[in-house]
Structure 1
Amino acid sequence: MRDFIALASKGYHEWWRYLVGTFLIFIIWQVGTLPFIGAVSYKLAIDGGDLSSLGNYETLMGTLDSNLTFFLMLLSFAVGFFGVWLIVRFFHNQKFKDVLTTRQYFDWNRVFIGFSIVGFFIAAMTILDFTLNPDSFLWNLKWDQFLILAGIGIIMVPIQTTFEEIYFRGYLMQGIGVIFKNRWLPLILTSVGFGLLHLGNPEVGKLGYVIMISYIGTGFLLAIMALMDEGLELSIGFHAGNNLITALLVTADWTAFQTESILIYTTEPSVGFDVLIPVLVIYPVYLFIMAKIYNWKNWKSKLFGRVEVPKTSS
């Protein structure tokens, strides 16, 4: 079966299963935050800190060592990954591979391509920005801390981003698609939902709601990749490359990941037309490159067409 969304019809795909499954995965994911909250609470307690400040983002980010904080933040996504596997395999009786790809085997080469395209671009733009505006950055490379960060990032960031891709572009996209038997609704709902997931990020508080254009636009980019390529490999690679390379290269005191990166951005941020450039210019270029590499065709039917669910499916 070469229809990525229709693969869900090979398992139990009643609407109520996706409603319950989505909720259960979210709860399991949130259970994964307990070690982080527990570690921060313990550190505050032994230091005589105010436990009521646990709801404060600065407290969560600043109480523990930054590398330990980074690891514990990402640990919740590893728990969430286990949760989505559990629900797919035992609640929907669906092969886990079928929530990842239509191909016979998971295509690691596609993951590498997706990772490389965005990784190269972020690295190049960061170097260019640092060269043109050196006063906006603080050189922060401390090899002992950076190597620990790199080890954590290389292992944990792909788990984080793969969980998000499976949850949104795999599980939810397939579920909405087989329930409503079309592609445009899961394309829109999962993209907007992915953007709204980032509503609590400190970047939103610092830059305002206009930054949601970037988050929702990224959701559409990743969803289009999944639908056009009939699998998640490219979006998994792209998402991992974006998060990992950014975490290693540059951070700021107002970003979700505050890491022992090579550079710290010190200039007060502002948002203008530049927030539209990635969504309107750079993302279409990404799609054009991948469309050429993988010979994507039938854009209208793949993005907006019907989903044919076999009548004999369970």
Structure 2
Amino acid sequence: MFKNEANQVRAGWLILLAFVSMFIAQQIFAVPGSVVLTLIDFPFQDGNYMIDLNAAFDRHPWVFLMTQGGGTVGGMLATVLLWRFVNKGTLKELGFRGSLKDFGFGLFLGALSIFIIFLMLLATGNIALLNPLSKPEFSIYTLTFLLLFILVGFFEEMFFRGYVMSTMESRRNPKWVIYVVSALVFSLMHGANPNVSVLGLVNIALVGILFAYMFDVTKSLWLPIGYHITWNYFQGNVFGFAVSGISPHGIYNVSIESGNDVLTGGAFGLEGGLFATMLIVVSFFATKLYVNVKAK
């Protein structure tokens, strides 16, 4: 039950241990930000002693970064420690190897994918741009969310691709099982997000398979990390769409009221729309082309 035919602890148990450890570490590392929020915002608003976390974090973006970013750092630390001392692996074996050109291409492809979705929605009348492209509205959120999404990109790829996939591969699981498990766990982790939709979870699973493919064909985390960072950041903090249900703070503001939710993703954000499905599929071909060109 606990060990396979080679007398190794089964991958599922290691992944479960890592998941629980990661969750506990996230909660611990988020505590300082929560304490600071309580100290600077109590009573929370207009004498109200019941906290609205979303509103409170909106008032204090640096505290939001301290809380969410701290939790993310805790998750990264737990992943690295388990990989090093339980799996007996190195950072290179976790996926930090290969060329940083992969990271640059990932950043470019993620940003380009969101830009194309934005143009398609704008051209079809599914969104309205509320401030001109010539007049971006920068704010403190532009910086705080950039830092946060960098941390999120590193952490989620380290865990879902680096740890989960490498652990399963070391136990000689079939490649299709490794892809599917890493993508499903990744999607289910977003299942409690606000305004979640079925298509949104399907697209997150699909992009999880894309990230798995990127990791597999490059043998490196750099490409999926880069794509993950700009995919999130350009959705929420450039073009002003919700990111997996999380409220946006973009330098541009869009209205989706007149759009088709099947295309725009509605309140869940672009990841809940069919245009995102199309661009994720296109990104598979773009990745394959990039890898073929790089190999020449």
Which of the five TM-score ranges fits, normalised by the shorter chain? 0.7 to 0.9
- One-letter identity of the residue aligned with 1:276: L
Query: CA separation in 1, counterparts of 2:21 and 2:42?
Result: 31
Q: Given the alignment, which residue of 26, 29, 41 partners 1:29?
A: 26
Is the CA contact 1:66–1:259 (under 8 Å) kept in the aligned structure 2? no
Match of 2:262 in 1: 272
Aligned to 1:98: 93
1:227 maps to which of 216, 227, 240: 216
Aligned-pair CA distance for 1:35? 3.5
> 1:253, 1:225 → 2: CA distance?
25
Give runs of aligned pairs for residues 143-162 of structure 1, distance below 5 A.
143=138, 145=139, 148-162=140-154
Query: Aligned partners of 1:127 and 1:273: how far apart in 2?
Result: 12
Show the counterpart of 2:55. Answer: 62
In structure 2, the residue matched to 1:310 is: none
Query: Is 2:36–2:63's contact at 8 Å kept on the other side of the alignment?
Result: no
Query: What CA distance in whole angstroms lies between the structure 1 residues aligned with 2:61 and 2:181?
Result: 34
CA–CA distance in structure 2, aligned partners of residues 155 and 272 of structure 1: 30
Q: List per-residue Cα deviations over 1:33-67 (Å, max 9, x = no partner).
A: 3344434444243543233xx5xxxx221123253
Structure 1 residues 17 and 202, CA gap change in structure 2 (3 angstroms):
closer
The whole-number CA distance in structure 1 between the counterparts of 2:238 and 2:143 is 14
Identity of aligned residues (%): 18
Instruction: Choose 130-139 or 156-165, whichever is displaced more.
Output: 130-139
- Unmatched 5+ stretches in structure 1: 1-11, 297-314
Stretches of structure 2 that go unaligned for 5 or more consecutive residues are 1-6, 265-272
- Ranked by relative contact order (alpha carbons within 8 Å, sequence separation 6 or more), the top structure is 1
- Give the letter for the 2:43 counterpart: A
In the alignment, is residue 212 of structure 1 matched against residue 206 of structure 2? no
1:133-148 correspondence runs (5 A)? 133=125, 136-139=128-131, 141-143=136-138, 145=139, 148=140
Q: Could you tell me the TM-score, scaled by structure 1's length?
A: 0.74
Amino acid at match of 2:291: Y
Matched, 1:170 2:162: yes
Partners of 2:242 and 2:9 lie apart in 1 by 45
1:150 shift after superposition: 3.3
Of 278, 281, 284 in structure 2, the residue corresponding to residue 287 of structure 1 is 284
CA contact (8 A) 2:117 2:276 kept: no
Q: 1:230 to 1:167 in 2, by over 3 A?
A: same
1:49 aligns with 2:48: yes
What is the one-letter code of the residue matched to 1:93?
Answer: K
How many residues were matched structurally? 269
Superposition deviation, residue 133 in structure 1: 4.5
Aligned CA-pair RMSD: 3.0
Cα deviations across residues 162-200 of structure 1 (Å, max 9, x unaligned)?
Answer: 100110011011122323532121211110111111111
Q: Identify if the C-alpha distance between structure 1 residues 82 and 250 changes in structure 2 by more than 3 Å, giving closer, same or farther.
A: same
Is the Cα–Cα contact under 8 Å of residues 67 and 149 in structure 1 kept in the other structure?
yes
1:193 is matched with which residue: 182, 185, 189? 185
Equivalent position amino acid for 2:84 in 1: R
Give me the whole-angstrom Cα distance separating, in 1, the residues matched to 2:118 and 2:8: 44
Letter in 1 for 2:53: L
2:93 partner letter:
D
Give the equivalent residue in structure 2 for 1:20: 17
Match of 1:117 among 104, 109, 113: 109
Corresponding letter in the other structure for 1:49: N
**Quick one: distance in 1 between partners of 2:127 and 2:274?**
25
* Maintained 8 Å contact 2:33/2:64: no
The residue type equivalent to 1:293 in the other structure is Y
Q: Which amino acid aligns with 2:73?
A: A
1:70 touches 1:257 (CA, 8 Å); kept in 2?
no
Q: 1: CA distance between counterparts of 2:60 and 2:175?
A: 41
Residue by residue over 1:177-225, the C-alpha shift from the partner in whole angstroms, topping out at 9 and shown as x without a partner, is 3235321212111101111111111131xxx333212111111111122
